[in-house]
Amino acid sequence: MNNFYKIQKKAIEEWQALKNSSEPVIYVGMGSCGLASGAGEVWNSVRRTIKKNNLKAQVLKVGCIGPCYLEPFFDIQKPGLPRMSFNNVDVSKSRKLISEYIIGGETKLKPLGHLGENKEEFEGVKSFWEQPMLKNQERIVLRNCGIIDPENINHYIARGGFKGLLKSFDIGPEGVIEEIKTSGLRGRGGAGFPTYKKWQFCRNAKGSPKYLICNADEGDPGAFMNRSLMEGDPYVLLEGMLIAAYAIGTNHGYIYIRAEYPLAIERLKIAIQKMFNLGLIGKNILNTGFNFNIKIKEGAGAFVCGEETALIASIEGQRGMPRSRPPFPAVSGLNGNPTNINNVETLGTIPNILREGGKWYSGFGTEKSKGTKTFALVGKVRRTGLIEVPMGTTLREIIFDIGGGTLKPFKAVQTGGPSGGCLSEEFLDLPVDYESLADAGSIMGSGGLIVMDQGTCMVDVAKYFLNFTSQESCGKCTPCRIGTHKMVEILDKITKGEAEMRDIEILEGLTSTVKNGSLCGLGQTAPNPVLTTLKYFKDEYLAHVEEKRCPAAVCRDLVEYRVIKEKCTGCQRCVSVCPTGAITGPRSEPHNLDPEKCIKCRACYEICRFDAIAGDAIVIV
């Protein structure tokens, strides 16, 4: 332990030196979202500019700070000033910032906010955390994301890292489990099972060696909470795993992570190596006699492998097929031994609970759902990104206050991914917690929140999900394999305008067969998107069946595109975008659309610029 205090002292010194640096420091948002927005190019350009101008300045990578729609973030901290955060910075804007703000001293470009410790306004610049998207959030799991360099372990340590681990060694395994019980933490991977109970089962189970697996498969398409956390603060997950392993009594850890997350894998590997170098992973950790090793297993692209028994089969090198439980993995899991599986966010919450106390954590959230939850706020909402809010926050607060609402009128929000449901406007005041969402026919899931507006067709969404689950069904049990397939067939008929009322009845019948007859969670929950859309958006089904009409103008077979001559200005944008040359016409004259050539890819519809007036220059008949 003494050794750790030395490490800690050094880390704090390094962090303080950075904050009080006599040279400018530049922080570039280099999460996957930043990189997809061009942060890599900015990074390279900044390094070149600095070298060329012989500037004395440090450049650091940070993870995603949350508002992905403003990426890339580019923060500059000048000596004696707080870190100023600039958004949507491309290469030319970054050059301008360096020459004007760093070299020149003044810039007209306005920072989005400052990231100083003091949240007061600073010389006309508000705190970053006072923006509408951030001010109602409570950042516990995400507290380091976007703030620290995820490859620098000292940054993590300086901000309270491994204090939770030390506390755990102090109070012993049973004490840890007790603390988690007090916190009220429930699994963040979807089912919401109390974490302390799982740990207790596994701790009490006979058999060795035991295993701890971190489920980083994040299979819900449209969700990225786990990715962001692993990229922005890999250490918090690893510390959480150390604590869990210590409480359960195991020396073997696995992280099962999807291969689509190469950056998260790389950062985890670096973090593991750095912890190993400091004696925080491996043999005799901090001289306590506790040993722990972590292996990374890359998934190979199968949604069902997020289910715990399928995940175990996949680690064992087999087809990822679930098996019936019991026995639960806590009794017989990997290689037939007791195994505890937790989600990334669950484990990432643990160090915070141990550091600040279970009682503190249980102060957030509702009666039955304690603490905070992260959500990937995406879809047709103005401000997209990763957020963290106390449990019990309403959907309205999330979508409208934090997300800034929708462009077209709001229609629905989808929670829980392929296992969840679509909720309509009347549910906007629903507090987000495990029970409320389940009562409404959806689930909390892992945290995907997909907002839909009047431009989204709910039948199409239901078809999308069923298509997904039928393709991802492992094929082991018949209700899921055949049932989901049949449901897709019927939904397909509906979206093509070929269905009759009887088909809706058959569809309803199938939902209960699949729900009740399937072996694992995939099949049992697969009908949820259909059930909820049928319940809350029945009129859309009826429009497709009775009128052969798609109200949102999404379903290809029910839509025809044409140019409204009176509204078309002849700007040629649609001509240039059409992949089949179906639209023709000279500049400044109304264009022609040849329905024979049209493949209904909607590119013209999307690109037509004159929003309110000419947004329907290409209309649907």
Q: Which residues bind ligand FES (CB under 6 A)?
A: 221-222
Residue type, 463: K
Is 307 an interacting residue with respect to other proteins (CB under 8 A)?
A: no
CB of 234 or CB of 417, closer to ligand FES: 417
Contact flag: residue 218 with ligand FMN (CB under 6 A): yes
What is the token pair recorded at 31? 């999460």
Binding residues for other proteins, how many (CB under 8 A)?
65
- List of residues 6+ apart from 525 with CB closer than 8 A: 416, 418, 419, 420, 443, 515
Residue with Cβ nearer other proteins (158 or 225): 225
If one asks whether residue 461 binds other proteins (CB under 8 A), the answer comes out as yes
Type of residue found at 163: K
* Cα gap 447→386, rounded to integer Å: 10
Interface region with other proteins, contact rule CB under 8 A, candidates 112-120, 194-202, 283-291, 317-325 = 317-325
Handedness of CA 504, 509, 510, 515 (dihedral sign): positive
Q: What is the phi/psi pair of residue 235, to 5°?
A: -65, -35
Which residue number, 190 or 551, has a Cβ lying nearer to ligand FMN? 190
Q: Is 468 in the site for other proteins (CB under 8 A)?
A: yes
Measured between alpha carbons, how far is 284 from 290 in angstroms, rounded to an integer?
A: 5
Q: Which of residues 136-195 bind ligand FMN (CB under 6 A)?
A: 187-191, 193
Least Å distance between CB 448 and other proteins? 7
Contact pattern from residue 470 through residue 509 relative to ligand FMN, giving x for each residue in contact according to CB under 6 A and a dash for the rest: ----------------------------------------
- For other proteins, give the closer residue by CB, 18 or 212: 212
**CB of residue 304 vs ligand FMN: minimum separation in angstroms?**
5
Nearer to ligand FMN, 69 or 199 (CB): 199
Nearest to 199 by CA among 168, 171, 177: 177
* Position with the least CB separation from ligand FMN: 306
Residue 60, Cβ density class (10 Å: 0-12 exposed, 13-18 middle, ≥19 buried): middle
User: How far, CA to CA in Å, does 282 sit from each of 181, 276, 277, 278, 423?
Assistant: 28, 6, 9, 10, 47
Q: What is the DSSP letter of 401?
A: I
User: Is the bond preceding residue 327 a cis peptide, omega within 30 degrees?
Assistant: yes
Amino acid at 9: K
Q: How far is the CB of 296 from other proteins (least distance, A)?
A: 10
Which segment (44-52, 74-82, 112-120, 575-583) binds other proteins by CB under 8 A?
A: 575-583
Of 279-308, binders to ligand FMN (CB under 6 A) are: 304, 306-308
Assess 33 for contact with other proteins (CB under 8 A): yes
201 touches ligand FMN by CB under 6 A: no
Q: Could you tell me if residue 256 is left (phi over 0), alpha (psi between -120 and 50 degrees) or otherwise beta?
A: beta
Q: Is there binding between residue 233 and ligand FMN (CB under 6 A)?
A: no
**Shortest distance, CB of residue 494 to ligand FMN, whole angstroms?**
25
Q: Are strands 372-379 and 448-453 parallel, antiparallel or unpaired?
A: parallel
Distance (Å, whole) CA 501 – CA 548: 12
Least distance from other proteins to the Cβ atom of residue 497, Å = 18
Question: Which among 36, 34, 125, 23 is positioned nearest to 74, based on CA atoms?
Answer: 34
Cα gap 349→240, rounded to integer Å? 7
CA-nearest of 329, 305, 349 to 187 is 349
Longest dimension (CA), the chain: 81
Burial bucket for residue 80 (CB in 10 Å: 0-12, 13-18, 19+): exposed
Under a CB-based contact definition with an 8 Å cutoff, are residues 165 and 184 in contact? no
Task: Figure out which of the listed residues 197, 549, 567, 600 binds other proteins, where binding follows CB under 8 A.
Answer: 600
Spell out, one character per residue from 225 to 244, where the chain touches other proteins: x when CB under 8 A holds, - when not: --xx----------------
Asked if 521 touches ligand FMN (CB under 6 A), the answer is yes
Q: Could you give the CA distance from residue 382 to residue 428 in angstroms, rounded to a whole number?
A: 17
Looking only at the bridges linking them, the beta strands covering 84-86 and 113-114 are antiparallel
The sign of the CA dihedral 506, 507, 511, 513 is positive
Q: How far is the CB of 531 from ligand FMN (least distance, A)?
A: 17
The stretch among 10-18, 125-133, 316-324, 340-348 that binds other proteins (CB under 8 A) is: 316-324
297 binds, among other proteins, ligand FES, ligand FMN, none (CB under 5 to 8 A by kind): other proteins
Q: Which two tokens stand for residue 245?
A: 């392993």
3-state secondary structure of 293: strand
- 474 interface partner picked from ligand FMN, ligand FES, other proteins, none, CB below 5 to 8 A per type: other proteins
| List 448, 483, 521, 527, residue binding other proteins (CB under 8 A) | 448
Q: Give the nearest distance from C-beta 485 to ligand FES in angstroms.
A: 23
CB closer to ligand FES out of 169 and 224: 224
Interface of this chain with other proteins, residues 347 to 406, rule: CB under 8 A: 376-380, 384-386
Closest CB 29 distance from ligand FES, rounded Å: 17
Q: How many CB atoms lie within 10 A of CB 277?
A: 11
Tokens of 545: 């069946």
Shortest Å, Cβ 591 to other proteins: 16
Does position 420 bind ligand FMN by CB under 6 A? no
Least distance in angstroms from the C-beta of 217 to ligand FMN: 4
Q: Work out whether 298 is an interface residue with other proteins (CB under 8 A).
A: yes
620 in contact with other proteins (CB under 8 A): no
Residues 6+ apart with CB under 8 A from 360: 353
Distance CA 393, CA 581 (A): 49
Binding positions for other proteins, rule: CB under 8 A: 32-33, 35-37, 68-69, 71, 218-224, 227-228, 259-262, 297-303, 314-320, 376-380, 384-386, 414, 417, 448, 450, 452, 456, 461, 464-465, 468, 474, 576-577, 579-580, 599-603, 606-607
Where on the chain is the footprint of ligand FMN (CB under 6 A)? 187-191, 193, 215, 217-219, 304, 306-308, 341-343, 346, 446, 520-522
